[in-house]
Structure 1
Amino acid sequence: MSQLAIKAENISKQYRLGKVGTGTLSHDLNRLWYKVRGLEDPYIKIGEANDRSSKGDSEYVWSLRDINFEIEQGDAVGIIGRNGAGKSTLLKLLSKVTKPTTGGFKVNGRIASLLEVGTGFNPEMSGRENIYLNGAILGMRRAEITRKLDEIIDFSGVERYIDTPVKRYSSGMYVRLAFAVAAHLESEILIVDEVLAVGDAEFQKKCLGKMNDVSKGEGRTVLFVSHNIGAINTLTNKCMYLRNGNLIEYDTTDKIIPMYLNDDLNNIRGLKEFDNTINLNENKPIQLTKCRFSIAKEIVEVEVEYVVRKTVGSVVALQIINAKEVSIITLIDTDRDADIFKKTEGNYVINFILPLSILAPDIFKITLSFSDMKSERFDYHRDILVFEKNNTDANLSRDGIIFSDPKFIGETKKLYLGN
């Protein structure tokens, strides 16, 4: 039988909105008075679920509520959920950055964590000194850290700046060194938050490869928070699904990911109309104003309206991504003729059209980007639309996000896959 690396028992974390700590001296004294009498914290019984999208009646919220799970040594566990679900809070509790309101963890082994840019580093110390500092915090001897030093520096790619105070590092350099330290020092448990998104594409790929080696090759336990479902699917064998501070399910990754994506799809299906009160950003030279989606007669059509405020070279790209975060198709609104890129001020409509038959049954997400010829991004909307193709429901129609309503005065263009 495998040995447990982490056991969480009735973990809850409560916050008071707009306050630091419990907020007032009277609340602290009240808690202390109950504690010395051996009574339960009086504020444990109040508070609401952490639903960031709705206004509540209580000033107390539960970032996490009654979380229980067991992680075996050598498991790679993904933690997924929408923003505000409690993922980062759970990792901070595990890393002892903050204390749980109720419950506790039983941990077998040392924890190395990478939670956010700058965590665990002294900005006044050099990169080299911070490597030794982090190793010492983990309980490693200086000789052990020295043995790993060259490997850490080489992996981080910041050798030239290794003796420079880290306060002068860019966020990308910071995260490179921080991940290299966390992954190479001899901890039994590695915790990584979404912070890897700060790095460039090449370094992200390198990190994911190292995490795969750590979990499968070295047999260490890994906890990984990410919105990149493809990375979660590749790296992890188990997965936790959090929603509004509650643990919805903890099971194998291949069971949890479809559940999470299906809930996402149902959220989209349940909306009659998206918010149309969002103000446009007048500082953007190009910006999306409206997007609609429909499937009819085995044709997928995405209608995109956007405004051009300044004559500039621009490319509008639509990307279709499957449930495993793999890009299936990319359509752009122009050809290789440079003159086509230039658009004068006005409002434009593009219809992206492709046959439904080229898509296998799956859940798909659509991302829109507006950039120039040098790939400078003016406007970007990830997962703006979600739709599903299956064998029984091929005519799903779904309105997209609706922003302020511009008056159409520009051109209309229809783009067919293959043209």
Structure 2
Amino acid sequence: DSISSYEAQITALKQERQQQQQHCEEKERELGRLKQLLSRAHPLDSLEKQMEKAHEDSEKLREIVLPMEKEIEELKAKLLRAEELIQEIQRRPRHAPSLHDSTELLPLSRDPSPPLEPLEELSGDGGPAAEAFAHNCDDSASISSFSLGGGGRQLQKDLESVSRERDELQEGLRRSNEDCAKQMQVLLAQVQNSEQLLQTLQGTVSQAQERVQLQMAELVTTHKCLHHEVKRLNEENQGLRAEQLPSSAPQGLQQEQGEEESLPSSVPELQQLLRRTRQEARARLQAQEHGAERLRIEIVTLREALEEETAARASLEGQLRVQREDTEVLEASLCSLRTEMERVQQEESKAQLPDLSEQRAKVLRLQAELETSEQVQRDFVRLSQALQVRLERIRQAETLEQVRSIMDEAPLTDIRDIKDT
């Protein structure tokens, strides 16, 4: 019964394997068709990838450049505030101090003005540094109102500090540009590495598909071998059962009859017969145990083969599921490529229409210019011919009156008045 149940399970597995093979063949055909479509649409695929990569690179560069631009804007605003403060200092009136004031404020002019806070502090903190700078500028302006020479020198120092800060800002901008260029190179190298990694992944995927196909072929061959082995064992088992049943009945009857006929009368003979029957029974029992052990081993091997088949089936189902997901992804990308292709075709057709109209107008204009130039050439030829005819007539004239009559003829006001010669 266990062998028949295993055989039924194996037949069911065989049917499922056939269905699975058919399904795999259909999926392979679909994958081939999709690969052909993708190979046809490969330029658009590369264009879409390039657009995506360019978009990602622009996003990364924007993330890098935005803080730099904000910092540059802040530095420019601080520089403008510093220039406004300097202009305000320059616009303040400078009154000539009286002698009394100069003598009273002489210690003030001798005292050095408090040092201005450096403009580099503006880049760190905008509000307090600007207020300190304005306060220092006001102090220097109040002192410079009493001493013109000191104020000019202070303004010169302020201008030099502002120019130094401007140079530092330009240097920082140049360094930020260099950093952006270096980061661009790094991003390009990363893009190339990602492309190489994608190619290697595609190669590994193709190798994995080939290995799966080889494993499927090996499993099919092993399944066929197991099926033939189970069939052979069933035939042997049925033959053994058929031989054992009819042969055991006549032998039992004959033995009973022979025992009844040839039963010994003495006790030693009976003991010897008993030992012989025990040995025969022990030999039969050992033969039955050997047969049962062989059947048990065959059942275990068949069970292991069945477990391997189920594990292989589960792995194939997982691979089939993965291939199905890949197929869905490919179909989605194919749909997006089709829409992108249609959009590009529409844009190309829209772009070609004004170009065609412009080219047509240009051709018409060139044709008109060509016709006018040809007409001018023909008129010039006719005019030159008419002038040559008149000159020849003047040469052939014998008297001065004939020459005057030729010269007094109607002047050539219109080229249409010339007669074709």
TM-score under structure 2 length normalisation: 0.15
**Larger Cα Rg: Structure 1 or Structure 2?**
2
Higher RCO (CA 8 Å, separation ≥ 6 residues): 2
Structure number with the higher helix fraction is: 2
